A and B are shown apart, each in its own frame.
Chain A
Amino acid sequence: MTRETVNVEPLQAVKFYQTGTFTVGNRLLDEAQRAVQANMRRTNSLNSGHRACQGCGEALGARYAIDAAMQAAQRRVIAVNATGCLEVFSTPYPETSWQIPWMHSLFGNAPAVAAGVAAALKVKKRGDVKVIAQGGDGGTTDIGFGCLSGMFERNDDVLYVCYDNEAYMNTGVQRSSATPPAARTATTMSVGPHPGNVFGTGKNVPLIAMAHGIPYVATASVANLRDLEAKITRAMGIGGARYVHVHVPCPLGWGSDPADTIKTARMAVESGLFPLFEAEAGEITARYRLRKPVPVEAYLSLQKRFAHLFTPQRDDATIAAIQSIADRNVRRFDLA
């Protein structure tokens, strides 16, 4: 008995708003296009019961990322976690919210430990099992940087996901090399003639990853969770060293409203301060063109860590300096 495929046109033309964000509701999309999180059979790899703060961007990002990875890998993923918020809030002794094999070793060695896991799997001919390493910005851009570069250079078969909340949040909001200029942290207080973090040269780890020529690099944000899932899925289909850098607001450290986590993340993207792009073998292959550009103020004003730029009086010079960073990103990454 044969079956014919029949094309069924919708009975009513539906105008989709906010195209490209899939916020119209997964049920109206092809199954293949639906979010992993919309699937009743999602793995809940990072299960409920963890101790993250209300509105934690990292918990949101990790949940989406790992479940997407699990779907892509037929539920065979081992995760290695650096010390940090995610590690601490996901494993409050004696509980764990991880439903996948998961290991925490040290702060600075997640890339190397993951490389070891990958090597063991290779030797045991378990090419079906995939390895993900996870760390915050502290563990990735600072203390784990050497190991990260080693992993890139060897092209170890590991997907490294960095959840960037722009400071050492777990230890009390201290500055990291990912902390943006002018931001208040516990070690860059908003006092004195130059309040907040310095205007340094910055450390763009996605670009550094690209400079290593690894197979896949992407930036993502909890502002666009479907995009995050898609990038993780794409990464899971590629072998070798891969790096995804996810922007995740931290309401506690940023002084933002927990209800505004996704909005804050979206302002970072639409202002140009956090460009979204993908790259393969060192060349950018896709970028998100700003759909509704906003001035940086729309982003900064949502966060108390930048409050000193607005009160007691506006610091136009600093806001302008931050704006020029955003403008440069728009030019450099062709976001307009």
Chain B
Amino acid sequence: MLEQIEGSLAIAKAIALCRPEVICAYPITPQTHIVEGLGAMVKSGALEHCEFINVESEFAALSVAIGASATGARSYTATASQGILFMAEAVYNAAGLGLPIVMTIGNRAIGAPINIWNDHSDSMALRDAGWIQLYAETNQEAADLHVQAFRLAEELSCPVMVCVDGFILTHAVERVDIPTQAQVDAYLPPFEPVQVLDVDAPVSIGAMVGPEAFFEVRYLQHHKQQRALGLIPRLATEFREQFGRDSGGLVRRYRTDDAETIVVALGSVNGTVKDVVDAMRDEGHAIGVLTICSFRPFPLTEVRRALAHAKRVVVLEKSLAVGLGGVVSDGVRKALSGIVLHGHTVIAGLGGRAITRKSLRELFERAERGALGQLEFLDLDWNVVEREIARTRRKRRAGPTAEAILRELGTVASQIV
């Protein structure tokens, strides 16, 4: 049923429909509304057969999910930013143990400096932990991906992260079609664990594994993600058949077939990019956008297929590998191995810096003109940067950079963007 609803609540409703059995939550902006919504549903009785546990840290949150999942309960938690780092040990642990936990990441920047706004540094920090990572473009997709995530996680026995842009999606009120219980039940069968703590059939889970076997165990995790490359599209197709809309899958192409310039991006920014692409297409530019939904496993074949014919590729990403450059673009380059074209990495939106149509339009036109470098930073204030570099060069004990820049900027609240 169509609802005008906050993204977080749409996600909460979708999760509730998946019949979760254990939900554990530690609050962190911007995921709070999701777990608050679920908590209210459990407390009121709207969501039955579910234990909602308020834990004392993110590390505890995922640990509770690990114990619950190992006991055969469908388990869920959510976090962001500092929280996913605080539970980092448990993130690797859940993947290594093959527990089908679903976790929402309300994408938010990681400090220092502390920042509550959106970028992808948090989920990217744990991209190699062995979790499947799916990125939602809209709140509709955010809700839908959770339904697919439980199915995917349980079929593979692999945890899944659903990444949803903090504030931009989580706190946006928009139209979402909330499925019915019958629809979700038809798509998501009850949880049948691969391994389970059962007094009638005791097993030991989590033993130390030495050099004689660790390599094989770790490889099999990688193999599981290779299987996911086939399963994710199949589940998306099945989803379309049952729910009547496209959500998820590995990648999504928009006007790329005859494009000379193709933009690649994850998450909500794809919406803004599509508006710019349409405006430029109306003026005769051959431009399109490739949305990557599954970032882990990284769909090398699909990305290659979509981009191979382009003259230039602009990877627009909300993550910075400090000391190197792009994160997503690494995967894209790998996918394009052997193909010669102009590839550009554009870092944008870090710490919630707005990504505007105007700036994107200028950026794409520069790309078409061949005036784009290999690594660019969209709307970075170079004046501020240069002044700060000069300031720190003047004396050794120059004080903290962040505070110095903020002092320069003046009253932030009086600015629109």
Contact = CB atoms under 8 A, between A and B. Distances in A.
* Complex contact flag A–B (Cβ < 8 Å): yes
Interface of A: 75-78, 80-81, 87-88, 91-94, 96, 98-106, 108-109, 112-124, 129, 146-147, 149-150, 153-154
Given A96-B207, A117-B71, A123-B49, A109 B202 contact: no
Residue of B199, B201, B210 with highest tally of chain A CB at under 10 A: B199
B65 to A, nearest CB: 6
17 contacts: A87-B208, A91-B206, A92-B207, A93-B212, A93-B213, A101-B199, A102-B197, A102-B205, A103-B67, A108-B59, A112-B59, A119-B22, A120-B73, A123-B22, A123-B49, A124-B72, A146-B57
7 tightest CB-CB pairs across the interface, nearest first?
A116-B67, A150-B56, A120-B73, A104-B206, A112-B63, A120-B71, A109-B63
B54 interface: yes
A94 B206 contact: no
Contacts of A124: 21, 71-73
B411 interface: no
State the main secondary structure of chain A at its contact with B.
mixed
B60 A147 contact: yes
A83 to B, nearest CB: 9
B64 A116 contact: yes
Nearest to A119: B51
B105 to A, nearest CB: 20
Contacts of B81: none
A146 B210 CA distance: 30
Q: For A92, A98, A120, A129, which residue has the most chain B Cβ atoms within 10 angstroms?
A: A120
A34 B243 CA distance: 63
Contacts of A106: 63, 89-90, 93
B55 A112 contact: yes
Interface residues of B, number: 45
A112 B70 CA distance: 13
A102 B67 CA distance: 11
B124 to A, nearest CB: 23
B97 interface: yes
Nearest to A149: B56
Nearest to B67: A116
B153 to A, nearest CB: 16
Contacts, number: 158
Interface in B64-78: 64-73, 75
B50 interface: yes
A52 to B, nearest CB: 15
A93 B208 contact: yes
Nearest to A81: B206
Contact of A113 (B51, B67, B202): B67
A120 B51 CA distance: 8
Contacts of B55: 112, 115, 150, 154
Contacts of A114: 67
Contacts of A98: 202, 204
B198 interface: yes
B205 A77 contact: no
Nearest to B55: A150
Interface in B157-212: 197-199, 201-210, 212
Contact of A109 (B21, B22, B59): B59
B24 interface: yes
A219 B53 CA distance: 29
B199 A96 contact: no
B66 A105 contact: yes
Interface string B233-276: 00000000000000000000000000000000000000000000
A146 B86 CA distance: 13
B202 A76 contact: no
Contacts of B50: 123
Given A88-B208, A93-B208, A150-B60, A100 B199 contact: yes
Given A102-B202, A123-B49, A80 B67 contact: yes
Contact of A117 (B54, B68, B207, B212): B68
Contacts of B207: 91-94, 96, 104
Given A120-B73, A124-B21, A100 B202 contact: yes
B70 to A, nearest CB: 6
Contacts of A109: 59-60, 63, 66, 89-90
A109 B71 CA distance: 16
B56 A113 contact: no
A102 B202 CA distance: 7
B75 to A, nearest CB: 7
A114 B24 CA distance: 13
Nearest to B197: A101
Given A102-B205, A103-B70, A153 B197 contact: no
A75 B56 contact: no
B53 A119 contact: yes
Nearest to B96: A105
B395 to A, nearest CB: 40
A122 B208 CA distance: 29
Contacts of B64: 112-113, 115-116, 119
A318 to B, nearest CB: 38
A105 B63 contact: yes
A78 B200 CA distance: 11
Given A91-B204, A98-B202, A101-B197, A123 B51 contact: yes
Given A106-B89, A146-B56, A154-B53, A116 B69 contact: yes
Given A119-B68, A120-B22, A120-B68, 8 more contacts: A93-B209, A93-B213, A106-B63, A106-B90, A109-B66, A115-B53, A117-B70, A154-B53
